[in-house]
Structure 1
């Protein structure tokens, strides 16, 4: 499989890359600078908010994974329309992204998002709002998308035993490792269970 990965140098992206290479997939990664990568990885140097750079990265791929993080400048909501456009031009339908539990529905009030409720402990909502705009872009598209929404993301390898739930965070979920988040995200490339859904993941 030919996989285009955005955010390949981040915590979760690196682990998704490792899993992909372990299964001998061909990887194209959009990176900001000259970064040392494995021989099986084609690096495209560019900006995730630039239409042409995204088009170059997506070209020739079968599926797309985005593990991009938000950095205070709305990179997610700026990049997503370009990613969707590039995928349509390439005839690619499947995209799996890593979001945040903040954009899941609140269990106490399913009419609002978690970041708008008392369930979220974060004081700032800027990151969640950027993730939300990216989600709404995908929801309005005709792509086969899945957004993996981890709760508090801690360092650590995959250890299994995690729980998932469509559109909500599993009850009493407090944290999840980078390893299990990456593993579950990677598994969604070949699973249709959560197509066109947000999925909460936690222990």
Structure 2
């Protein structure tokens, strides 16, 4: 399988790349700074470019079977701009499956089910910009014809995978307060070939 990924140099993205390479897949990563990706493998191709540039995404995505976004939010609209371009290009190239890493803030609130978590008292966020960006991605995917999954971790400390965690469709597992980068990356990677959470958000926490 050929996997196209943006956000490959980040904490979660770099681990997803490693999982994919260990799984024997071909990986194509669109990156701004190739030297920030430590993985070296004959099945890894790095395209230097901008995730907001339509031509860069079109070129790097050629021949991919699935797309992955592990882009974070950086105080700009890079994330939603990139996903919008990716959706259009996937439709153009006939690629159906996309897996993205979101945030628990865009899951449904348990106390106010008509609200998202970041909009409710469940959230302790002082700034909502990042959650709003992830919500834009959710809306874009929900209104597309793609087969999508958004993995929504809660507080995300560095750490190796434990292998034992809880997941729940559309909600954060009750009482969940954290999930390691390692376990988030491992679960996200497994969704590439799984239809268990097709066209939905999935909360992940210990």
Q: TM-score by structure 2 length?
A: 0.96
Aligned length: 203
2:52 — aligned with what?
A: 49
- SS of the equivalent of 1:4 reads strand
Equivalences for 1:105-144 in 2 at 5 Å? 105-144=108-147
Q: 1:81 aligns with which of 84, 105, 111?
A: 84
Q: State how far apart, in whole Å, the 2-side matches of 1:146 and 1:16 are.
A: 15
1:183 — aligned with what?
A: 186
Q: CA offsets per residue over residues 86-116 of structure 1, 9 Å max, x none?
A: 1111111000000000000101111001001
| Structure 2: segments with no counterpart, 5+ residues | none
Q: TM-score by structure 1 length?
A: 0.98
CA drift of 1:121 comes to 1.4
- Kindly indicate whether residue 186 of structure 2 is the aligned counterpart of residue 172 of structure 1: no
1:15 — aligned with what?
A: 15
Q: CA offsets per residue over residues 21-62 of structure 1, 9 Å max, x none?
A: 101110000000342652321111111111111111211100
- Kindly indicate whether residue 35 of structure 2 is the aligned counterpart of residue 32 of structure 1: no
Cα RMSD over matched residues? 0.9
| Structure 1: segments with no counterpart, 5+ residues | none
Q: Which runs of 4+ in 1 moved over 6 A?
A: none
